[in-house]
Amino acid sequence: MKTDGKTCLPQNDLTEITCSASGIRLELHQCVLPGVSEPTLLDSDCEADLVGDTFVFETTLDGCDTAFVVDDDVVTFSVSLFKGKIVRKIFYECC
């Protein structure tokens, strides 16, 4: 939990985001999404693959309802994890 008391950050070894010119790969250990067995991104066609105990999402930079904001030459992307309702919103920068 961050000092604002509102932002929950999982341990670094439980998440991984990989960016490339063609897309994004998001890996989340199952414990980051307790009680969720089949998460999708906001676009429900964008399902995770379960690899061991890790959910893996892959999408193009503009796919699966990925949003982005450009501020001072920094692009911040966000995706929403969904299971009947938004369960987590994830923000990240790709350099």
* Single pTM value for the model: 0.74
Q: How far apart are CA 55 and CA 85, in angstroms?
A: 18
- pLDDT by residue for the chain (95 residues), tens only, comes to 455 555 555 566 788 888 888 888 988 888 887 788 888 888 888 899 999 999 999 988 888 888 788 888 777 777 777 666 666 677 666 65
